[in-house]
Structure 1
Amino acid sequence: MDIQTFLRSRAGVTKTSALRGAGFTHTAVDRALAAGRIVRVRRGIYSLPGQSGAYGLALEHNALLTCLSAAPTYALWTVHDAGTVHLSPSHKGTPPGALPHGRCTHPAHPSLPVAGLADVLIHSLRCLPELESLVMVQCAAQRGDITVEFLRRKLPGNRNACARAILDHVIPRADSLLEVLANYHFRRAGLQVRRHVELPGVGEVDFLIEDCLVVETDGGSHLEPRQVKKDRKRNNATVIGGRLGLRFGYDDVVNHPQRMVAEVLGVLELCRLGAYGAR
């Protein structure tokens, strides 16, 4: 393995001690520097050109990326990208502009300056808006990387009540970020919601609301021509089967959830009034 490949395995940045541990001598490092294959971020820290980023900031301050800044490392769902860098600091504290979190109490990532998954999720539950942290926990929990019960035990006392309440919205299965968010909003609106219901002639639908309205949440793949044709057939089968159907995309679910819920409530009210010859 050459030094560049090794750095790529460390997200593009690492310490001298890690290079030495991998067998790269002082001479090999100097040659890579002279050739421009790597750069020195500061004394004891090296990166691929232009790739130090948040990982480099964490190493420079002997800190660990956590919360939203650590989500990409663990391939967790997120609603928005991290703007501010979230760090769990060492004794040196955090640099200006970074958002400090508490010390980590679980093993860190084995090769990157990133907090362990448990600490990342605990920090997110205490730090982020409710939906931002919910989708991160949902992603990790349904993959089997962590359990909701474990996180609940790690969040005792009154000061963690709000964080524990977020865990109540984690569902057994969600096929996408949009399902998590839509389920949250429908439940908050007091609707009777069933998820992943198998309907004759239609197949499995994302939501069946009040037993009369099918709601599907469409990610980017639903814009592909083959999927558009499939969705059109499913929409027709839904109506033929005696139920109404609505579809909502990313912008609806993420950016305009109140409008989405209002449209669902509006259709349900029209059903109640018999506007569609309701069942």
Structure 2
Amino acid sequence: MSDIARVLDQLGGIGRRAQVLDRGVSRPDIDHALARGAVIRVRQGVYATPAVDPAVLSAARHGGEVACGAALRAHGVWVLSDEHPARSGANDRDHRPMPRLHVWMGPSGRQHAHAGCRCRAHHEIGDRPAGFGIVEVLLALVQYAVCGTPEGFFAALESALQLGLIPQGGLATLRSRVSEHLRWLVDFASDQADSGLESLLRLRLHLRGITLQSQVEIAGVARVDFLLAGRIILEADGRENHERSSKRHKDLLRDAAAAAQGYETLRFDYVMILFRWDLVLAAIEGRLAVLQSRQVQDDAARLQDR
């Protein structure tokens, strides 16, 4: 006779009745564990331990696994948020509806209605049958390529690459499974970006015909996010930078050290890159124009001196 909680832990915290019965758990054991709260009934014939992630429980109630952007977040991948700072106050959060949970059902999985269900079902083919839990990163990227924006997909892909979560041959598989108009993003992606903000910055400037050097080491300054035209440093600061005064102080010291060597630093935060891109682009193109104008003047002066 086996303890159902231990058996469920072996199954990843959640499983079907047939699975636990096959492992020696009796029906009275299941009823007793339910009565004392050692396990919970997810839906008819599916049980879980109380420690299972709520998103995994919701996906199991619907009949499958956490998918798409939620799965990517669960794996630690940077996923673009559509939350605007003007709507991010505590009171606003209390009244916003919960985001839709995306659930992978497999090609022929059956959906189950449940309380509060706003689930979006996915039926892609995977490397294994759908079960309960969280889909693998590669399948989640295939799903996010459909549900997210192109630049959101690109940022998530670069984050997965940087984290080493794409298996051998995974990029070729991904390229074959996304829409044709997204395949160039798979080819353009690299594993150099330290954050999704860097990915967005590089992609958006590339579309403007501006090429950046990524993760450049500058003596006396350390590594910078981007170097433009050999003189302009671009830094993409995450949300946490302005919440920690010590980090802000170190950034100012780096900027001063860079200025002492003739570099100019343009530093943009999360809100600016996501919600004030017009200002970010104007700043970058404005400084680049000044630099290029100076170069033209210097070249003309050198010609006159000959």
Q: Same fold (TM over 0.5)?
A: yes
The letter of the residue matching 1:36 is G
Deviation by residue 1:50-101 (Cα, 9 ceiling, x = unmatched): 9674423432343333211322332221112892222233342475743233
Partner letter of residue 207 of structure 1?
A: F
- What is the distance in 2 between the residues matched to 1:4 and 1:254? 45
Please state whether the residue corresponding to 1:180 is helix, strand or coil: helix
Q: Is the 8 A contact 2:80 2:152 kept in 1?
A: yes
Q: Following superposition of structure 1 onto structure 2, how do residues 10-89 of structure 1 map, counting pairs within 5 Å?
A: 13-20=14-21, 24-48=25-49, 53-80=54-81, 83-89=99-105
Partner of residue 204, structure 1: 223
Opposite residue 73 of structure 1, the aligned amino acid is A
- Quote the residue 2:172 is aligned against: 152
SS in 2 for 1:231: helix
CA-to-aligned-CA distance 1:237-259 (integer Å, 9 cap, x gap): 11111111111111112232332
Distance in 2 separating the partners of 1:77 and 1:185: 17
Q: Tell me whether 1:256 sits opposite 2:276 in the alignment.
A: yes
Give the counterpart letter for 2:157 in structure 1. Answer: V
Structure 1 residues 69 and 198, CA gap change in structure 2 (3 angstroms): closer
Question: Runs of 5+ in structure 1 lacking a partner?
Answer: none
**Worse overlay, 171-180 or 66-75:** 66-75
2:128 matches 1:107: yes
TM-superposed CA distance for 1:205, in Å, is 0.8
Choose 1 or 2 for highest CA Rg: 2
Number of residues paired by the alignment?
275
Change (3 A) 1:34 1:120: same
Task: Indicate the structure whose relative CO is greater, using CA pairs within 8 Å and at least 6 residues apart.
Answer: 2
Shift of 1:148: 8.8
Once residues 175 and 220 of structure 1 are traced to their aligned partners in structure 2, the CA distance between those partners, rounded to angstroms, is 14
Normalising by structure 2, report the TM-score: 0.75
Query: Shift of residue 189 of structure 1?
Result: 1.9
Distance 1:14 1:72 in 2: 23
2:214 is paired with a residue whose SS is: strand
In the alignment, is residue 181 of structure 1 matched against residue 197 of structure 2? no
Q: Give a deviation string over 1:16-62, Cα, whole Å, max 9, x none.
A: 34544666543443233222343323221234559674423432343
1:219 and 1:249 in contact (8 A); partners too: yes
Find the aligned partners of 2:48 and 2:167 in 1 and give their Cα distance.
Answer: 35
% identity of equivalent residues: 24
What CA RMSD, in Å, does the superposition of the two structures yield over aligned residues? Answer: 3.5
User: Which stretch of structure 1 is more off in the superposition, 129-138 or 37-46?
Assistant: 37-46
Q: 2:110 aligns to what?
A: 92
Equivalent position amino acid for 2:122 in 1: H
**Deviation of 1:113 (Å):** 3.2
Residue type at the aligned position of 1:107: R
Letter aligned with residue 184 of structure 1:
L
CA contact (8 A) 1:108 1:114 kept: no
Distance 1:83 1:148 in 2: 33
Which residue of 273, 291, 304 corresponds with 1:271? 291
Over 3 Å counting, the alpha-carbon distance change for 1:196 and 1:108 in structure 2 is farther
Residue aligned with 1:168, SS: helix
2:142 aligned with 1:122:
yes
Tell me the amino acid that sits aligned with residue 83 of structure 1: P
Distance 1:263 1:8 in 2: 54
Q: Is the 8 A contact 1:37 1:49 kept in 2?
A: yes
> Which residue number in structure 1 is paired with residue 233 of structure 2?
214
Q: 1:194 to 1:93 in 2, by over 3 A?
A: same
Matches of 2:166 and 2:102 in 1, distance apart?
21
